[in-house]
Structure 1
Amino acid sequence: MKRLLNVHEAPIILFTVLIGILFTIISPEFLQLDNAKLILEQNTSSAIVAIGMTMVILLGGIDLSVGSVLALTATSVGLFLSHGMSPWLASLLGVGIGILCGMFNGYFIAVLNIPDIIVTLASMYIFRGLAVGISGGTWMTNFPPGFQFFGQGQVLGISFPLIVTVILIIGFIFLLKFTRFGRRIYAIGGNKAAAKLAGVSIPRTKFMVYVFSGMLVGIAAVIFASKVGSVQASTAGSNLSFEVMAAVLIGGGSIFGGTGTIAGTAVGILLMGIIKNGLVIAKVSPFWVDATTGFLIILAIAINTLQYVRQNKRKGGELI
């Protein structure tokens, strides 16, 4: 039991279970299998984007542009499909556009060393503006039936988007935990000066993190467009940046960098999905969803700050 409690994600997992029990008591419908599937399937796109955001925050960075990247990518895929392109090729090109957006952010942040909040704030407007411009402000609709598989299809009775999400989560958990690249991310976020002295290429690592983030947003955009069946460039993914950042922080990530896991982020996404679903089933006003999310962000940041201060005090005590 003590070993389980020492797991980094233990507090958020326990809190998620308690919230689930609470909603089950309020409404027995919450615990039904169909509702559990609905919670998982509704949050696949957010979970995929949150993987990339986890790596960005591990570096001690921030990315405000992911919602705009999703809008641009989804709109581009819609345009490709409207011109008769095959769903698979259109989707691959969409992921490629996501990668290009990540390269754009990565170049200015990692190579030119411009603060990430400035770059991603600017690119948030740039990418959103491009999405609205190429769409002419109109909805992207009437996608071909073959495209629906990416967001609504099933493999052996299991949702295809859910399969993709689980594979990506497992893959990036392995990347962060067992590869040199993953260790470099933690090293930079934990102590940039020490990482530089150890020979870690900070610009290259940062650049690749933003490229991976763009790729993941591209994949999420394809699933989003397919699942919803339409895309409005001016509103698609408008709150996505804050939702996935909230999930990372709630899942144990630190705004100071160097702390956090993709598993914790996945639980954070699950918790937010449970809260949204539970409030709807309990017939609570949807306006309380945003208030609850904001409260969780404040709580997570407060906990992270206290942990950061405690760790610094402990290190200072050890040095003395």
Structure 2
Amino acid sequence: MKTLSKLIVREDALPEPRPRVVGWGDVVGREGGGLVVLVILFGALALASDSFLTSGNMANLSRQWAVYAIIAVGELLVILTKGIDLSVGSVVGLTGAVAAQLLVAGWPVPLAVVCAAGAGAAVGVVNGALVAFARLPPFIVTLGMMGAARGLVLVITGANTIQPLPPGFSAIANDTVGGVPNLFLITVVVILAAGFLLRRTVFGRYVYATGSNAESARLSGVPVPRVLVSVYAISGLLAGLGGVLLASRLGAGVPTAGESYELDAIAACVIGGASLFGAKGSALGAAAGALITSTLNNGGNLLGVNSFYLRIAIGVLILLAVAFDQLQGHLRTSRASPS
């Protein structure tokens, strides 16, 4: 009985996997690293190109960043549980195609948007169920879903671009409010909502606890399977939202939309301070990582830099971010161990 009582832990006794009030040490150590890189990058590009800080280019950059950031925030929730979602790029293409097909068939814009985003969430639920209940590796599950969803896109569209789409749908991504692009505003809302969910709710504590040690979390009363299904569902939902917004921005349902976006989302999370070993990262960090990669691409285009070199630069940033995370882990271990 004594042994059993030690395993039963009340919900309010569940340890905080990460502090809810982030101190300066945490900011400088993780999310702040990405923000410092971002400030340096903005300063360098502002000096290198007179066009970089213009209002037109900033609006263009915010639109480029928005879709990547939304997908990266969804990917972050999965990474926090020590998982990975390789299907988000295909979900972007699938949901954009679904929305386009429904609009061409005469569906109202709001209903088409909701159904398309719901399709993304449904893909996420399938991924989460296979990971949580069938206990299949997240890499294999989402790799298979990546191929299946991309194939479904090609079936739905017949490998053809779907257009034209109603002006009301294109206005979602291309209009502005007081000079601020709609895409930017939508993305800020998503980031704030995800930040609140992770930092100020019991579910957020469950996510970090699951990524820290799933078995210990389960013994502490955390409903680990439901948490896993939920994070994959949210990832699919946000990828679906990103696909709808991308289709709105392009004014068409493109069957190849979202290709390689899964790699960009993972890169954004890692560059923004998330750990692929789980339980470390924030929505702000993922958004900052997405802005770094978007700024590199935007600045490279302005300066006429070969896009292949930009991919190399992003790859080097990923390696540096992972090395920095490993170094921090070793430092914490050495400080904790008795001398």
TM-score normalised by structure 1 residue count: 0.94
Letter matched to residue 295 of structure 2: I
CA displacement 1:284-317 (0-9 Å, x = unmatched): 11221211111111111111222233334444x1
Instruction: Provide the C-alpha distance between the structure 2 equivalents of 1:63 and 1:201, rounded to a whole number of angstroms.
Output: 20
CA contact (8 A) 1:12 1:267 kept: yes
1:99 Cα offset (Å) = 1.0
Instruction: Provide the C-alpha distance between the structure 2 equivalents of 1:121 and 1:32, rounded to a whole number of angstroms.
Output: 40
1:160-179 matches, cutoff 5 A: 160-179=182-201
1:153-302 matches, cutoff 5 A: 153-233=175-255, 235-302=256-323
Instruction: Provide the C-alpha distance between the structure 2 equivalents of 1:104 and 1:193, rounded to a whole number of angstroms.
Output: 22
1:4 Cα offset (Å) = 4.3
1:167 Cα offset (Å) = 0.6
Letter matched to residue 268 of structure 1: G
Instruction: Provide the C-alpha distance between the structure 1 equivalents of 2:145 and 2:331, rounded to a whole number of angstroms.
Output: 36
2:91 counterpart of 1:69: yes
Gaps of 5+ in 2: 1-22
Instruction: Provide the C-alpha distance between the structure 2 equivalents of 1:124 and 1:251, rounded to a whole number of angstroms.
Output: 24
Letter matched to residue 110 of structure 1: A
Query: Cα gap change, 1:5/1:277 in structure 2, threshold over 3 Å: closer, same or farther?
Result: farther
Deviating more after overlay: 81-90 vs 26-35: 26-35
Instruction: Provide the C-alpha distance between the structure 1 equivalents of 2:287 and 2:152, rounded to a whole number of angstroms.
Output: 31
CA RMSD after TM alignment: 1.5
CA contact (8 A) 1:252 1:264 kept: yes
CA displacement 1:143-186 (0-9 Å, x = unmatched): 01111122112233321121111111101100000000001111
Query: Cα gap change, 1:197/1:312 in structure 2, threshold over 3 Å: closer, same or farther?
Result: farther
1:50 corresponds in structure 2 to: 72
Partner secondary structure for residue 52 of structure 2: helix
2:14 corresponds in structure 1 to: none
1:126 corresponds in structure 2 to: 148
Letter matched to residue 281 of structure 1: L
Deviating more after overlay: 285-294 vs 110-119: 285-294
Instruction: Provide the C-alpha distance between the structure 1 equivalents of 2:42 and 2:25, rounded to a whole number of angstroms.
Output: 19
Picking from 287, 293, 310, the partner of 2:331 is: 310
2:20 corresponds in structure 1 to: none
Letter matched to residue 275 of structure 1: L
Partner secondary structure for residue 160 of structure 2: coil
Picking from 174, 178, 201, the partner of 1:152 is: 174
2:159 corresponds in structure 1 to: 137
1:12-27 matches, cutoff 5 A: 12-27=34-49
Instruction: Provide the C-alpha distance between the structure 1 equivalents of 2:189 and 2:333, rounded to a whole number of angstroms.
Output: 36
Picking from 108, 126, 139, the partner of 1:86 is: 108
1:33 corresponds in structure 2 to: 55
Letter matched to residue 266 of structure 2: M
1:65 Cα offset (Å) = 0.4
Deviating more after overlay: 127-136 vs 20-29: 20-29
Gaps of 5+ in 1: none
CA contact (8 A) 2:62 2:181 kept: no
Q: Percent identity?
A: 36
Query: Cα gap change, 1:52/1:28 in structure 2, threshold over 3 Å: closer, same or farther?
Result: same
Instruction: Provide the C-alpha distance between the structure 1 equivalents of 2:193 and 2:147, rounded to a whole number of angstroms.
Output: 31
Instruction: Provide the C-alpha distance between the structure 2 equivalents of 1:255 and 1:283, rounded to a whole number of angstroms.
Output: 33
Letter matched to residue 208 of structure 1: S
Instruction: Provide the C-alpha distance between the structure 1 equivalents of 2:193 and 2:88, rounded to a whole number of angstroms.
Output: 21
CA contact (8 A) 1:255 1:304 kept: no
1:6 Cα offset (Å) = 4.6
2:30 counterpart of 1:11: no
Instruction: Provide the C-alpha distance between the structure 1 equivalents of 2:104 and 2:297, rounded to a whole number of angstroms.
Output: 34
Instruction: Provide the C-alpha distance between the structure 2 equivalents of 1:62 and 1:297, rounded to a whole number of angstroms.
Output: 16
CA contact (8 A) 1:150 1:222 kept: no
CA displacement 1:218-261 (0-9 Å, x = unmatched): 1111110010112321x211110000100000000001001111
TM-score normalised by structure 2 residue count: 0.89
Instruction: Provide the C-alpha distance between the structure 2 equivalents of 1:5 and 1:259, rounded to a whole number of angstroms.
Output: 14
